[in-house]
Amino acid sequence: MKGFSKMKLLGLLSIALIIACAKDDGEQGGYLTPIMITSPSTNPTEIKTNTPVNYAATFTIDTIIDSVRVKYIVDSTNIGNNEDSLKYYKTYTFTRRYNVQTITDVLGLTKYPPINGYIRIKFELYTSKRSKIEKWLTIKMI
């Protein structure tokens, strides 16, 4: 009888552990991208030419984020992500040092590509422990 109650107790504890470790409905499973572009909501996206480009992005990584750089290309020939043609736009540094940061801004350009041309925006995430992580956003002019 004594051995049976120990087994019963062990079984109940195992069930309780499994239930306690189960994911909540609100939890996201799987791999989260370190750079998530939240605005514009689609990539690639389209905007009217000569319109300021609003953007927002969330950066999430397992270490403190030092800075984020934003660069861009005005691509009227549709050559793609040409690193040599990148223009520096802005560096964001964060006074509150966390592993999750969000930026929202407007890319103000002095020259826009023609209709059917592209603006390609590159987000670069920098931490003290890793080299840069990057993601591109492609915007077609309509």
Domain-embedded: residue 109 = yes
pLDDT value at 87 more than 70? yes
* Span 64-85, pLDDT tens digits: 899 999 998 887 666 666 665 7
pLDDT at 81: 61
Domain-embedded: residue 102 = yes
pLDDT at 27: 42
Range of the domain at 133: 35-141
Domain-embedded: residue 55 = yes
pLDDT at 3: 53
- Total domains in the chain come to 1
pTM of the model: 0.72
Domain-embedded: residue 4 = no
Domain-embedded: residue 15 = no
Task: State the Rg of the chain over Cα.
Answer: 23
Among candidate residues 35, 95, 34, the one with its CA nearest the CA of residue 66: 95
Domain-embedded: residue 130 = yes
pLDDT value at 17 more than 80? no
* Span 41-63, pLDDT tens digits: 888 899 998 888 899 999 998 88
Alpha-carbon span 82 to 75, nearest angstrom: 9
Q: Which CATH number does the domain housing residue 103 bear?
A: 2.70.50.50
pLDDT at 123: 94
Alpha-carbon span 67 to 41, nearest angstrom: 23
Domain-embedded: residue 107 = yes
Backbone angles phi, psi at 8, to 5 degrees: -65, -45
- Asked if residue 39 lies in contact with residue 123, where contact means CB atoms within 8 angstroms, the answer is no
